């Protein structure tokens, strides 16, 4: 007999957010953030542990909104650990939560999969690859180390030590990609791909290749995600959003464009997302989204 399905909840985390964004309806008490050591900040942007227990009759569907990042995902269950590298994606992920959910999530910087594993980001796009298929032999004992650890802090140390051992000399092109990503994601002084390529003294094709290998998403898709994130930030300070005005402020052609983009990238309309965040939020923030 299938467990009764509970109302869907949201998980959102934008760059510079703490463990989660104010739109998130996951209980904040189930999430713990850990500091990223200076030696790994070029590869790792955020480290989080999660643990939550559900009663046997509960099942929750969690909608994780896309942020365009690759991740190292570690699940702990039944005395074992499963470790996967999840590539960047521009669509939401739906997770079924039940029983005892426990693990770690390590968010990687653009270009990190290339620098850590020698794998271009576009080869991992929207995929989840087992650790044993991507890590070199010397690091394949990480699941055993994680299972044997006494607590999450020790598990995090093992994971970060392994990632540090995998670091390679930084690709000189990475700084160009980081600059290009910031420019394309800027809400003000928007720049076209052609103008950006000229600014970098590169061809448009070369910029696209760099985005593919370092970020895993096309420049146009990256820009759409950044525009979505900018809209979410705008909604945090807007008590009663007028959608036509929000659309123009956020860089959409009109309200219909805004709605269609939210449906494509989030699987929800802006109003649906706002209603879910407001009606079921366990996190608080100033502005329009509690």
222 located within any domain: no
180 located within any domain: no
Domain limits at 131?
A: 9-166
204 located within any domain: no
| Angle, CA 144 vertex, CA 141 and CA 145 arms, to 5° | 85
In total, how many domains does the chain have?
1
Global pTM reads: 0.90
Tens digit of pLDDT for each residue in 56-105? 989 999 999 999 999 999 999 989 999 999 999 999 999 999 999 999 99
The encoded tokens of residue 271 equal: 């109003």
254 located within any domain: no
Return the SS3 of 102. Answer: strand
200 located within any domain: no
Number of neighbouring beta carbons within 10 Å of residue 229? 23
The encoded tokens of residue 30 equal: 């189930």
Tens digit of pLDDT for each residue in 7-25? 689 999 988 888 888 888 8
Tens digit of pLDDT for each residue in 115-147? 999 999 999 999 999 999 999 999 999 999 999
73 located within any domain: yes
Contact 110, 175 (CB under 8 A): no
Number of neighbouring beta carbons within 10 Å of residue 154? 13
d(C-alpha 107, C-alpha 198), whole Å = 31
253 located within any domain: no
207 located within any domain: no
């Amino acid at each position: 007999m299938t467990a009764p399905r509970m109302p869907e909840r949201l998980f959102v985390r934008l760059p510079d957010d703490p463990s989660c964004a104010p739109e998130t309806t996951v209980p904040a008490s189930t999430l713990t953030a850990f500091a990223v050591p200076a030696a790994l900040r070029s590869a790792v942007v955020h480290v989080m542990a999660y643990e939550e227990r559900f009663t046997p009759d509960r099942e929750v569907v969690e909608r994780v909104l896309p942020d365009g990042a690759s991740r190292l995902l570690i699940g702990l269950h039944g005395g074992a650990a499963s470790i996967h590298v999840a590539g960047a994606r521009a669509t939401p992920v739906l997770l079924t939560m039940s029983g005892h959910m426990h693990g770690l999530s390590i968010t990687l910087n653009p270009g990190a999969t290339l620098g850590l594993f020698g794998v271009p980001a576009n080869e991992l796009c929207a995929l989840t690859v087992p650790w044993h298929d991507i890590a070199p032999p010397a690091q394949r004992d990480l699941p055993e180390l994680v299972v044997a650890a006494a607590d999450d802090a020790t598990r995090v140390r093992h994971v970060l030590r392994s990632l540090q051992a995998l670091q390679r000399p930084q690709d000189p092109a990475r700084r160009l990609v980081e600059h290009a990503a910031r420019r394309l994601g800027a809400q003000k002084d928007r720049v076209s791909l052609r103008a950006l390529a000229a600014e970098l003294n590169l061809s448009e094709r070369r910029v696209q290749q760099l985005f593919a290998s370092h970020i895993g998403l096309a420049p146009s898709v990256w820009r759409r995600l950044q525009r979505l994130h900018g809209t979410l930030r705008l909604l945090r300070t807007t008590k009663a959003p007028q959608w036509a005005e929000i659309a123009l402020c956020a860089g959409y052609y009109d309200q219909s464009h805004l709605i269609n983009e939210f449906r494509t990238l989030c699987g929800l309309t802006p109003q649906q997302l706002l209603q879910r965040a407001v009606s079921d939020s366990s996190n608080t923030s100033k502005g329009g989204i509690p």
